[in-house]
Amino acid sequence: MPRTSAQPRRKPPTDKDRLDLRKRIGVFVRTRRQQLGLSQGDIIDVLGYVSRNSVSNIETGREGLPAKRIYAWADVLEVPRDAFFRFVTGETKRVDQTGKATEAEAANRSSTAESELVAAYRKLPAKYQRRIKEQIQEFSELARTGPKSR
């Protein structure tokens, strides 16, 4: 049966296209990891890789990002899951119709201090992370409602 769609059929990606995409993903992964103050060792610990070579190969484009781990990578790199490839391809660097900064620009504004805090937090045992979350929630509530009088 002939195609009725008005859109022309896309050509399948070439080996060069695949390599270019792997390299763009690698550059994005390395840059974002460094912005967050994470080491390759931190990534290995969180994602369960066996060796640093796997992360290094992804960052240099020698290996592709495994499809089954894309969400995990997005979570570690603090990128919205549904926007991961838009970040990689740079589509979110544009300003939207209303003139507001896009997600990528907002994400890149995180200061060095924030990145250091996130990196330090991730190195803590889970019980300390829970305590910190509770304290932050308490401070947020205090900031919202003001101190209670005694």
pLDDT tens track for 105-114: 555 555 566 7
CB atoms near residue 76 (< 10 Å)? 19
pLDDT at 90: 66
- Say if residue 84 is in the same domain as residue 104: yes
Count how many domains the chain has.
2
Cβ-based neighbour number of residue 73 at 10 Å: 22
Using the predicted structure, report yes or no on whether residue 56 has a pLDDT greater than 90: yes
Residue 132's SS3 state is helix
| DSSP-derived secondary structure letter, 67 | G
> Where in the sequence is the domain holding 94, given as residue range(s)?
15-110
| Residues 74 and 118 grouped into a single domain | no
Same domain, 32 and 88: yes
pLDDT given for residue 94 in this prediction: 44
What pLDDT does residue 110 have?
54
List the helix and strand counts (H, then E) for the chain: 8, 0
How many angstroms separate the CA atoms of 94 and 117, rounded?
A: 28
Same domain (yes/no): 31, 73: yes
Does residue 11 surpass a pLDDT of 70? yes
Instruction: Output the pTM of the full model.
Output: 0.55
The pLDDT tens digits of the residues spanning 80-120 come to: 887 777 766 666 554 344 434 455 555 555 556 677 777 78
